[in-house]
Chain A
Amino acid sequence: DAGITQSPRHKVTETGTPVTLRCHQTENHRYMYWYRQDPGHGLRLIHYSYGVKDTDKGEVSDGYSVSRSKTEDFLLTLESATSSQTSVYFCAISEEGSMNTEAFFGQGTRLTVV
């Protein structure tokens, strides 16, 4: 199994509080992604990173920020959580361009904003 870990796995937080989700990899892959999964919407890209300190927005980036200060860690922050951000969040890593290009996913974080 690819070395990718998300923490925490579950979190309940109150509206208006800041929340940070962590994605940690041991594969030294260049690309890291944060998605949210909601019924009827599939996997929607929030932010992604193509290197240390190199990040870009996805289709649903409003209300989220990210940081990648080292190759192995990609942090997703909800500055002020809202109920609409209740979701399951997935981190993924990939090394595009290699012969066996494949994205590996973390186990997901279920976030509930009350």
Chain B
Amino acid sequence: AQTVTQSQPEMSVQEAETVTLSCTYDTSENNYYLFWYKQPPSRQMILVIRQEAYKQQNATENRFSVNFQKAAKSFSLKISDSQLGDTAMYFCGQEGGSEKLVFGKGTKLTVNP
């Protein structure tokens, strides 16, 4: 069955430090896409980073990077030099092939000054 699991409902980090959010998934597809979306208090959903499963190299976007372990079906998000504006809900998502886009339950991240 297609599932996405985020095991950390809430996390906090001090400004300028590094934090890692966990995500595991299950899929029967061999080629698929993985995403991290950010949802600030404004409720807007913003794409943070995207990974294509057939690409072995981990995706990076400025302070955001992922650790993609395809065999383990793990897709964690690392935020370096955390900023107050990173405070948000973060959702991990997966889609591909015949499978629709589904998300985990989210991780609420608070960056403390």
Contact = CB atoms under 8 A, between A and B. Distances in A.
Interface of A: 31, 33, 35, 40-43, 45, 48, 56, 58-59, 88, 90, 92, 94, 96, 100-103, 105, 107-108
Given A40-B105, A42-B6, A43-B103, 17 more contacts: A31-B100, A31-B101, A40-B9, A43-B93, A45-B101, A48-B100, A56-B100, A58-B102, A90-B45, A92-B101, A96-B101, A101-B33, A101-B52, A102-B35, A102-B47, A103-B35, A105-B37
A89 to B, nearest CB: 11
B75 to A, nearest CB: 15
A103 B101 contact: yes
A90 to B, nearest CB: 7
B105 A42 contact: yes
B69 to A, nearest CB: 21
B95 interface: yes
Interface of B: 6, 9, 33, 35, 37, 43-45, 47, 50, 52, 91, 93, 95-96, 100-106
Contacts of A58: 100, 102
B100 A33 contact: yes
B100 A45 contact: yes
Nearest to B3: A59
* Residue from A43, A48, A108 with most neighbouring chain B CB atoms (10 Å): A43
9 contacts: A40-B105, A41-B105, A45-B102, A58-B100, A96-B95, A103-B37, A105-B44, A107-B44, A108-B43
By Cβ-Cβ distance, the 7 closest A-B pairs, closest first, are A42-B105, A105-B45, A43-B103, A42-B106, A48-B100, A108-B43, A101-B33
A35 B37 CA distance: 14
Contacts of A100: 50
Nearest to A102: B47
Contacts of A43: 91, 93, 103, 106
